[in-house]
A and B are shown apart, each in its own frame.
Chain A
Amino acid sequence: MISSCGTRQRLTRALSIVGVAGLLAGSTMLSPLGVSAQHSGWVTSHPAAFVDQGTVTMVTDGSAADLDPASEELASSDNIDRNIGNTLVDLKGSSVGQVVPSLAQSWTITNGGKRYIFNLRHGVYFHTGHLMTSADVVYSLTRTIKAGLTNSYLLTRFISNPAKQIRAVGKYRVEIDLSRPQQFLLLALADSYVCMILDSKALKAHAKGNDYGHAYATSHDLGTGPYRIQSWQHNQQVTLVRFPRYWGGWSGPHFSKVVVQTVPESSSRRELLERGQADLTFDLTPQDYRAMQHNSRLQVSSPYGTEVDYIQFDDYGKLKNPAARQALSYAFDYNALLNGVMKGFARRATGPYPHVLLGYNPHGFTYQTNLSKAKALFARAGIKAGATLTMDEYPSTDLDAAGLILQAQLSQIGIKLQIKQMTEATYNGILYGTEGPSGRPDLMPFGWWPDFNDPYDMAVPLVASWSAGANGANGGYYKDSRVDSLLKQMETARRSVLVNDAHELQNIVTQKDPAALWLVEPAQTTVLQRKLKGYVFNPLELQTYNFYTMHH
Chain B
Amino acid sequence: MIRFVVRRLAFLVLVLLGISLITFVLSHIVPADPVRLYAGPRATPATIRLIRHQLGFDQPLPQQYLLYLSNLLHGNFGYSLESHRAVSADLYDYLPATIELTLAAVVFILVVGIPLGVLSAVLPGSIVDQVGRVIATTGVALPAFWLGLMAQLVFFDLLGWLPAGGRLNESANPPPHITGLYTVDSLVSGQFATFGQSLFHLLLPAVVLGYGSLAVLTRQIRASMLDVMGQDYVRTARGKGMPRRIIVIRHALRNALVPATTVMGLQIGYLLGGALLVEDVFSWPGIGRYATLATLTLDYNAIMAVTIVAALMYGLVNLVVDLLYVVIDPRIAY
Direct contact of A and B (CB under 8 A): yes
Instruction: Tell me if B285 is interfacial: C-beta within 8 Å of chain A.
Output: yes
Question: How many Å lie between the Cα of A152 and that of B173 in the bound state?
Answer: 36
Chain B positions within 8 Å of A268 at CB level: 152, 156, 164-165, 283
Beta-carbon nearest neighbor of B33 in chain A: A429
Chain B positions within 8 Å of A219 at CB level: 84-85
Are A148 and B46 CB-contacts (below 8 A) given A278-B170, A426-B32, A428-B41? yes
Cβ proximity bits B36-66 to A, threshold 8 Å, 1 near / 0 not: 1101111110110010001000000000000
Instruction: Tell me if A4 is interfacial: C-beta within 8 Å of chain B.
Output: yes
- Say which residue of A68, A210, A263, A426 sits within 8 Å of B166 (CB atoms): A263
Are A425 and B84 CB-contacts (below 8 A) given A11-B41, A210-B50? no
Beta-carbon nearest neighbor of A257 in chain B: B171
Chain B positions within 8 Å of A71 at CB level: 39-40, 84
Question: How many Å lie between the Cα of A238 and that of B33 in the bound state?
Answer: 30
Q: A368-386: which residues lie under 8 A (CB-CB) from chain B?
A: none
How close is B14's CB to chain A, nearest CB, in angstroms?
Answer: 33
Cβ proximity bits A4-25 to B, threshold 8 Å, 1 near / 0 not: 1100010100000000000000
Chain A positions within 8 Å of B151 at CB level: none
B290, A235: Cβ atoms closer than 8 Å: yes
Cβ proximity bits A136-171 to B, threshold 8 Å, 1 near / 0 not: 000000000001111111000000000000000000
Chain B positions within 8 Å of A57 at CB level: 170-171
Chain A positions within 8 Å of B165 at CB level: 263, 265, 268
How close is B201's CB to chain A, nearest CB, in angstroms?
Answer: 12
A423, B298: Cβ atoms closer than 8 Å: yes
Question: How many Å lie between the Cα of A148 and that of B51 in the bound state?
Answer: 11
How close is B313's CB to chain A, nearest CB, in angstroms?
Answer: 20
- Say which residue of B170, B280, B283, B293 sits within 8 Å of A277 (CB atoms): B170
Instruction: Tell me if B82 is interfacial: C-beta within 8 Å of chain A.
Output: yes
Question: How many Å lie between the Cα of A237 and that of B54 in the bound state?
Answer: 31
Chain A positions within 8 Å of B83 at CB level: 65-66, 234-235
How close is A134's CB to chain B, nearest CB, in angstroms?
Answer: 27
B171, A259: Cβ atoms closer than 8 Å: yes
Give the interface size class of chain A: 35 or more
Residue with the highest number of chain B CB atoms closer than 10 Å, among A57, A218, A219, A426: A426
Beta-carbon nearest neighbor of A235 in chain B: B285
Instruction: Tell me if B174 is interfacial: C-beta within 8 Å of chain A.
Output: yes
A234, B292: Cβ atoms closer than 8 Å: no
A267, B157: Cβ atoms closer than 8 Å: yes
Q: A384-425: which residues lie under 8 A (CB-CB) from chain B?
A: 423-425
How close is A263's CB to chain B, nearest CB, in angstroms?
Answer: 6
Q: B155-207: which residues lie under 8 A (CB-CB) from chain A?
A: 156-157, 160, 164-167, 169-171, 173-174
Instruction: Tell me if B141 is interfacial: C-beta within 8 Å of chain A.
Output: no
B174, A233: Cβ atoms closer than 8 Å: yes
Instruction: Tell me if A295 is interfacial: C-beta within 8 Å of chain B.
Output: no
Instruction: Tell me if A262 is interfacial: C-beta within 8 Å of chain B.
Output: yes
Instruction: Tell me if A231 is interfacial: C-beta within 8 Å of chain B.
Output: yes
Chain B positions within 8 Å of A65 at CB level: 82-84
Are A150 and B170 CB-contacts (below 8 A) given A66-B84, A218-B84, A268-B165? no
Chain A positions within 8 Å of B70 at CB level: none
Are A429 and B37 CB-contacts (below 8 A) given A261-B170, A261-B171? yes
Instruction: Tell me if A472 is interfacial: C-beta within 8 Å of chain B.
Output: yes
Chain A positions within 8 Å of B94 at CB level: 234-235
- Say which residue of A59, A264, A265, A432 sits within 8 Å of B41 (CB atoms): A432
Instruction: Tell me if B296 is interfacial: C-beta within 8 Å of chain A.
Output: yes
Instruction: Tell me if B31 is interfacial: C-beta within 8 Å of chain A.
Output: yes
How close is A480's CB to chain B, nearest CB, in angstroms?
Answer: 22
Instruction: Tell me if A55 is interfacial: C-beta within 8 Å of chain B.
Output: yes
Chain A positions within 8 Å of B43 at CB level: 148-150, 152
Beta-carbon nearest neighbor of A431 in chain B: B41
B40, A236: Cβ atoms closer than 8 Å: no
B285, A11: Cβ atoms closer than 8 Å: no
Chain A positions within 8 Å of B171 at CB level: 55, 57, 257, 259, 261
A235, B41: Cβ atoms closer than 8 Å: no
B42, A424: Cβ atoms closer than 8 Å: no
Chain A positions within 8 Å of B164 at CB level: 263, 265, 267-268, 271-272
A234, B41: Cβ atoms closer than 8 Å: no
Beta-carbon nearest neighbor of A467 in chain B: B42
Chain B positions within 8 Å of A150 at CB level: 39-43
Instruction: Tell me if A314 is interfacial: C-beta within 8 Å of chain B.
Output: no
- Say which residue of B46, B85, B160, B292 sits within 8 Å of A4 (CB atoms): B292
Question: How many Å lie between the Cα of A265 and that of B282 in the bound state?
Answer: 8
Instruction: Tell me if A239 is interfacial: C-beta within 8 Å of chain B.
Output: yes
A425, B39: Cβ atoms closer than 8 Å: no
Q: A227-243: which residues lie under 8 A (CB-CB) from chain B?
A: 231, 233-237, 239
Question: How many Å lie between the Cα of A215 and that of B160 in the bound state?
Answer: 43
How close is B204's CB to chain A, nearest CB, in angstroms?
Answer: 12
A423, B296: Cβ atoms closer than 8 Å: yes
Q: B1-58: which residues lie under 8 A (CB-CB) from chain A?
A: 31-33, 36-37, 39-44, 46-47, 50, 54
Chain B positions within 8 Å of A259 at CB level: 170-171
Instruction: Tell me if A112 is interfacial: C-beta within 8 Å of chain B.
Output: no
Beta-carbon nearest neighbor of B294 in chain A: A425
Question: How many Å lie between the Cα of A219 and that of B85 in the bound state?
Answer: 8
Chain A positions within 8 Å of B298 at CB level: 423, 425-426, 429
Instruction: Tell me if A307 is interfacial: C-beta within 8 Å of chain B.
Output: no
Chain A positions within 8 Å of B32 at CB level: 425-426, 429, 433
Question: How many Å lie between the Cα of A153 and that of B54 in the bound state?
Answer: 22
How close is A91's CB to chain B, nearest CB, in angstroms?
Answer: 23
Chain B positions within 8 Å of A426 at CB level: 31-32, 298
Chain A positions within 8 Å of B299 at CB level: 425
Question: How many Å lie between the Cα of A71 and that of B39 in the bound state?
Answer: 8
Instruction: Tell me if A73 is interfacial: C-beta within 8 Å of chain B.
Output: yes
How close is B116's CB to chain A, nearest CB, in angstroms?
Answer: 31
Instruction: Tell me if A209 is interfacial: C-beta within 8 Å of chain B.
Output: yes
Question: How many Å lie between the Cα of A403 and that of B285 in the bound state?
Answer: 32
Question: How many Å lie between the Cα of A31 and that of B219 in the bound state?
Answer: 82
B85, A218: Cβ atoms closer than 8 Å: yes
Beta-carbon nearest neighbor of B174 in chain A: A233
Instruction: Tell me if B289 is interfacial: C-beta within 8 Å of chain A.
Output: yes
- Say which residue of B31, B47, B297 sits within 8 Å of A148 (CB atoms): B47
Q: B296-324: which residues lie under 8 A (CB-CB) from chain A?
A: 296-299
Question: How many Å lie between the Cα of A354 and that of B157 in the bound state?
Answer: 38
A233, B170: Cβ atoms closer than 8 Å: no
- Say which residue of B42, B46, B169 sits within 8 Å of A472 (CB atoms): B42
Chain A positions within 8 Å of B90 at CB level: 234
Q: Contact residues of A with B, CB < 8 Å?
A: 4-5, 9, 11, 55, 57, 59, 65-66, 68, 71, 73, 147-153, 209-210, 215, 218-219, 231, 233-237, 239, 257, 259, 261-265, 267-268, 271-272, 275, 277-278, 423-426, 428-429, 432-433, 472
Q: List 22 A-B contacts (CB under 8 A).
A: A66-B83, A73-B40, A148-B46, A148-B47, A149-B47, A152-B44, A209-B54, A215-B84, A218-B85, A233-B285, A235-B94, A235-B285, A236-B167, A237-B174, A239-B173, A257-B171, A263-B166, A265-B283, A268-B165, A272-B170, A423-B298, A425-B32
**Given A231-B173, A236-B93, A432-B42: 14 more A-B contacts, CB < 8 Å:** A71-B84, A149-B43, A218-B85, A234-B94, A235-B285, A236-B166, A263-B164, A265-B281, A267-B152, A278-B170, A426-B298, A429-B33, A433-B32, A472-B42
Q: Contact residues of B with A, CB < 8 Å?
A: 31-33, 36-37, 39-44, 46-47, 50, 54, 82-85, 90, 93-94, 152, 156-157, 160, 164-167, 169-171, 173-174, 280-281, 283, 285, 289-290, 292-293, 295-299
Nearest 9 A/B pairs, CB to CB: A150-B40, A148-B47, A429-B32, A148-B44, A268-B164, A425-B297, A259-B171, A218-B84, A423-B296
